[in-house]
Amino acid sequence: MGTICVPDELSGFSGQMEGVLAALLPSQRGPEEKLYEAMSYAVLGGGKYLRPYIVETSASMFGVPAAQRRRVGAAVEMIHAYSLVHDDLPALDDDDLRRGKPSCHKAFDEATAILAGDALHSLAFETLAEPDTHPDTGVRADLAATLAAAIGPRGMVGGQMIDLESEHVAVGADVATRLARLKTGALFSFSATAGAILGQAHREAREALQTFGSELGLAFQIVDDLLDVEGDEAALGKKVHKDMTAGKATFISILGIEGARREVRRIADSALANLEMFGERGRALRAIAEYVLKRDR
Ligand code: GRG
């Protein structure tokens, strides 16, 4: 069997995801029109759609129909887009550039960006809860509860709080690891686990995917830190050298560039070990882990 080229797969998949997202985000005339425009601006065009691709790949292992896995992928991408819109606000990271375009609050205004993030968050859960996502109400409730846990105080938002509290403070690798596991790993973990939930897989498979996703997200975040130091602003579509300027403790400031590269490989290997039980079926998820290590955007 040939090798899987994840960037090529992602670019084909992105077009399909944009169609699904656009259908879930119809335009609206009237006084709330700007809200819909800001939501579309934030979620369409420019993202890699890596998290929905993880949902797609994981769910495909269990024979989940395309329409179901893409609705869950769309919900994950709405959450991701909301987190970026809020993260770019002046009160948080204060970033003017995202995906090579003005960030949402620059293209619109701060109030609209806050509301667009809030509305994407709500629309994600509405999408999961609708019967088209899965005929079984228990599966839909499981998806909603697992996503809520991944992005709340014990997940993404908790990680963001630790990030804020860690600015200009000397923290060690343990704190940086916990921060990244919550801020980035938790949504990756949900994305990988979603396939097992949709496919009503057995507990061992679900737990293996949960750990795989968490480790993958941690590796992704360390690569993100490396790209902030070594990456190309044009390819990334966002400002680089932000972390040092903001006085953030990153894996690079703690481990150095070579140490961080070794840590990424070690964590990716630990992620990959969780796929052994899937044999050949886990091939596409394995390719995603290798892509995360080599990505330049
Ligand atoms: C303010 C209520 C409130 C919540 C904010 C800001 C936030 C919650 C969470 C931050 C989450 C965050 C920004 C994590 C960083 C993860 C990361 C490395 C994002 C970049 O992901 P890519 O490279 O982006 O997949 P694309 O553009 O490809 O989608």
* pLDDT per residue as tens digits for the range 160-178: 999 999 888 888 999 999 9
pLDDT at position 1:
66
Q: What's the CA-to-centroid distance between 1 and ligand 1, angstroms?
A: 35
Nearest atom in ligand 1 to the alpha carbon of residue 87 is 6
pLDDT at position 36:
97
Our mutation pick for probing the ligand 1 site, out of 84, 163, 166, counting the most ligand atoms within 8 A of Cβ, is: 84
CATH for 6-294 is 1.10.600.10
CA distance 13 to 167: 37
Return the sign of the alpha-carbon dihedral for residues 46, 271, 154, 138: positive
Overall pTM surpassing 0.75 (yes/no): yes
**Bridge partners (DSSP) listed for residue 102:** 97
Q: What's the CA-to-centroid distance between 257 and ligand 1, angstroms?
A: 22
pLDDT at 123 over 70: yes
Helix boundaries (H) for the chain: 6-24, 33-43, 50-60, 66-87, 104-107, 110-129, 137-151, 156-165, 173-180, 186-198, 203-230, 233-236, 242-245, 251-273, 283-294
185-206 pLDDT, tens digit each: 999 999 999 999 999 999 999 9
Q: Which residues contact 288 (CB under 8 A, 6 or more apart)?
A: 6, 50, 53, 54, 57, 216
Give the residue from 124, 93, 89 showing the smallest Cα distance to 107.
89
Lining ligand 1 with CB less than 6 A are 47-48, 50, 80, 83-84, 86-87, 92, 99, 156-157, 160, 183-184, 221, 224
pLDDT at position 238:
85
Name the residue at shortest CA distance from atom 16 of ligand 1.
184
Our mutation pick for probing the ligand 1 site, out of 115, 160, 164, 226, counting the most ligand atoms within 8 A of Cβ, is: 160
